[in-house]
Structure 1
Amino acid sequence: MSGPATGRVAAVDLGEVRCGIAISDTTTTIARPLEVVEEGELEKRLRELVDEQGVSVVVVGVPKTLRGERGHQAGRVLERIERMRRELPEVSFVEWDERLTTRIARGGGGRRGAVDHLAAAHMLQEYLWAGRR
C-alpha cells in the first residue's frame, strides 16, 4: 500500500464462481456484507464502488494453509490481485490472510448458501480492527 489512504475500504472473498464483497462505513470503523457477484463481474463492480462509494482500498483474502503457507489456490488469488491492480491502478490492494473466514461465516458448520459476502465482512472487520489503514 502506498501512502495514506482516504475513502472507504472494501474486501473481497475471491471464489472460482462467486466473489463476496463487503464495504466499510464512511468512518472505516464497521464492516458490512454488501453482496455476492459472479466472478466475471468483480472488476466492474469494484469500479462502481470506487466511483460511487469512494472506495480507495480493497482487502483481498489470500488462502493459506493452517500452517500459514501459501498453496496452489493462493497463487491463483495472487495472480488475480495483479490483474485487479492493473485494471484499478488508483486503488490500493491489500493481501489478507483469510484462513477460516468462510467457516466462520457459515457458523462453523456446513450451512449451505452464499456466504462469501459474510466471509468478506469478517475479513474486513479484522483488517479495520488491526488499524491497518
Structure 2
Amino acid sequence: MPRILAIDYGQKRTGIAITDELQIIASGLTTISSETAIAFLKDYFNKENVAEVLIGEPKQMNGEPSQSAEIIEAFVSKFTKSFPEMKVIRVDERFTSKMAFQTMIDSGLKKKQRQNKGLIDEISATIMLQDYLTRKVI
C-alpha cells in the first residue's frame, strides 16, 4: 500500500512526516530548508511509493487565511506543477505548533531541545498526518 506524506511548509523550514506502508502510524521524517523542498520531494518520491500528500492550510481562529497563507499557496502551486499526478489534500494546521511544543514538554525534552524549531515543524507535520489518519478510519 502506498504511503501518505504530510508537509508543514514554512517560510524557512518545512517539516515532513510519513505513514508506514499500512497507513496506520504517522512518523516524523525530517525537517528541511523550505527552498529545497521540491528537490527533496522529487528524490523521495523516486525512492518511495507515495499516493497522497497533505499540505497544511494555515487559518486564523475565525477560519480566515492567516498571514502565511500566501507563501503556502505559492508552494502548493509549485508542488502541483512539479507533481501533477500526486493527490494533494489540504488540512487545517491550526494549533499544530502549540500541540507539537506541548508534546515535546510531555515527552520530557529539556528546554534546550525544545528550542529546536525544526523539531517542532517535524512534529507538527506528524500531528497533522496522524489526525488525518484517525479521521480517515472513522
TM-score (norm 2): 0.85
2:64 to 69, 92, 100: 69
Report the equivalent of 1:125: 130
Take 2:21 and 2:125, find their aligned partners in 1: how far apart are those partners?
17
1:14-93 counterparts in 2 under 5 A?
Answer: 14-93=9-88
Which one has the largest radius of gyration? 2
Structure 1: gaps of 5 or more residues: 1-5
Between the aligned partners of 1:75 and 1:93, the Cα distance in structure 2 is 17
Q: SS at 1:56's partner residue?
A: strand
**Kept after mapping to 2: 8 A contact 1:65/1:71:** yes
Would you tell me which structure has more helix in proportion to its own residues? 2
Counterparts of 1:90 and 1:112 in 2: how far apart (Å)? 37
Structure 1 runs of 4+ with >2 Å offset: 108-111
Could you tell me how far apart the structure 1 residues matched to 2:37 and 2:3 are? Answer: 17
Answer whether contact 2:11 2:71 (CA < 8 A) is retained: no
Secondary structure of 2:10's match?
A: coil
Secondary structure of the residue aligned to 1:76 is helix
How many residue pairs were aligned? 127
Q: Give 1:41 deviation, angstroms.
A: 1.0
- 2:108 maps to none
Cα RMSD between the aligned structures? Answer: 1.8
Answer whether contact 1:50 1:56 (CA < 8 A) is retained. no
Counterpart AA for 1:128? L
- TM-score w.r.t. the length of structure 1 is 0.88
For 1:112, the equivalent position in structure 2 comes to: 115
Q: Alpha-carbon deviations, 1:63-107, whole Å to 9, x = none?
A: 100122113321321221011000011211111100010111011
Structure-2 residue corresponding to 1:3: none
- 2:62 match: secondary structure: coil
